[in-house]
């Protein structure tokens, strides 16, 4: 019960069993009340129905300032305040550099840079009314190491990691901590289709010193520690990816060769 009495907002939890929902589940198991937020009410309501009295919901488009402000107000109205705020939203845009369009750049910039900036502004305002708290950004190992055809995603994640450092520096005196968590390839509903591609998982596993890709439970465990009063750390990026950043992601040709070889064996 490391989060007993805490009140958490988890944005990006509007998908069944996605990373945001797994984090929210773990927070509840540790004693917190959790407001789950996103753009799909049916998934949010289903989560709330599984946790009566412990979970609440609000609709929020992270790219809109008014939505973020309304989310903070909803958390205060429904739970009495905010002690923990997690941004688990994102878009896995995977596209060659020269093929990435202006429209796609605008969309991913809004979702993964402007949106988190606005979200944390609203959450800081809410936390400042209480005793401070913990802000957690779900980043990516690719904000640090290379992956083919991922420039727009990587750039926006890296930019938000630096925003987190700025927040940590500026608001530490208000007892507000801010940190990032960087998963590598992770087993989630979003990557389930990739996991069924013969040879794909295996070629990535060779890059992990701990010998496996991550899970949402791995990320949730790290988030619990960052959210707890035991955490005396701010402005950092936790590489919760089994040591992937000690090495590198596979290159495109390595992935293609591994998939072709695996399919030939079937």
For 114-123, what is the mean pLDDT?
A: 98
Instruction: Please give the Cα distance from 98 to 204 (Å, whole number).
Output: 25
Whole-structure pTM value: 0.95
Instruction: Please give the Cα distance from 106 to 124 (Å, whole number).
Output: 25
For 45-74, what is the mean pLDDT?
A: 98
- Confidence band (pLDDT; 50, 70, 90) for 266? confident
- Residue 5: is its pLDDT beyond 80? yes
For 11-30, what is the mean pLDDT?
A: 96
pLDDT at 196: 72
Of the residues 153, 201, 204, 208, only one is catalytic, namely: 153
- Residue 263: is its pLDDT beyond 90? no
pLDDT digit string, tens, across residues 218-228: 999 999 999 99
Helix/strand/coil percentages in the chain, nearest 5: 50, 15, 35
Q: Are 217 and 127 in contact (CB under 8 A)?
A: no
- Confidence band (pLDDT; 50, 70, 90) for 189? confident
- Confidence band (pLDDT; 50, 70, 90) for 197? confident
**43 is an active site residue:** no
Say how many C-beta atoms besides its own lie within 10 A of residue 215's C-beta: 15
pLDDT at 180: 98
Instruction: Please give the Cα distance from 167 to 163 (Å, whole number).
Output: 6
For 14-29, what is the mean pLDDT?
A: 96
Instruction: Please give the Cα distance from 218 to 49 (Å, whole number).
Output: 25
The alpha carbons of the chain give a radius of gyration, in whole angstroms, of 18
β-pairing, 176-181 with 133-138? Answer: parallel
Q: Alpha carbon of 42 to those of 13, 14, 49, 69, 108: distances in Å?
A: 11, 8, 11, 22, 24
Q: What is the mean pLDDT of the chain?
A: 95
């Amino acid at each position: 019960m490391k989060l007993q009495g805490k009140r958490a907002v988890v944005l990006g939890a509007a998908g069944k069993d996605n990373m945001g929902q797994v984090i929210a589940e773990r927070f509840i198991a540790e004693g917190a009340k959790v407001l789950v937020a996103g753009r799909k009410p049916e998934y949010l309501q289903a989560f709330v129905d599984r946790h009566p009295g412990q979970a609440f919901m609000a609709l929020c488009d992270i790219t809109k300032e008014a939505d973020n402000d309304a989310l903070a107000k909803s958390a205060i109205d429904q739970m009495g305040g905010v002690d923990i705020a997690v941004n688990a939203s994102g878009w896995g845009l995977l596209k060659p550099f020269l093929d990435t369009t202006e429209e796609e750049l605008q969309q991913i910039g809004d979702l993964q840079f402007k949106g988190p900036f606005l979200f944390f502004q609203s959450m800081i305002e809410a936390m400042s009314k209480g005793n401070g708290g913990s802000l957690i950004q779900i980043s990516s190992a690719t904000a640090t190491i290379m992956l083919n055809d991922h420039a727009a995603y990587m750039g926006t994640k890296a930019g938000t990691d630096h925003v987190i450092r700025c927040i940590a520096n500026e608001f530490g005196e208000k007892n507000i901590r801010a940190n990032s968590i960087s998963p590598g390839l992770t087993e989630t509903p979003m990557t389930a289709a990739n996991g069924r591609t013969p040879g794909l998982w295996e070629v990535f596993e060779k890059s992990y010193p701990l010998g496996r890709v991550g899970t949402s439970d791995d990320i949730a465990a790290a988030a619990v520690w960052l959210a707890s009063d035991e955490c005396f750390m701010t402005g950092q990026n936790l590489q919760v990816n089994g040591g992937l950043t000690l090495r590198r992601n596979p290159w495109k040709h390595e992935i293609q060769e591994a998939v072709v070889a695996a399919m030939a064996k079937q």
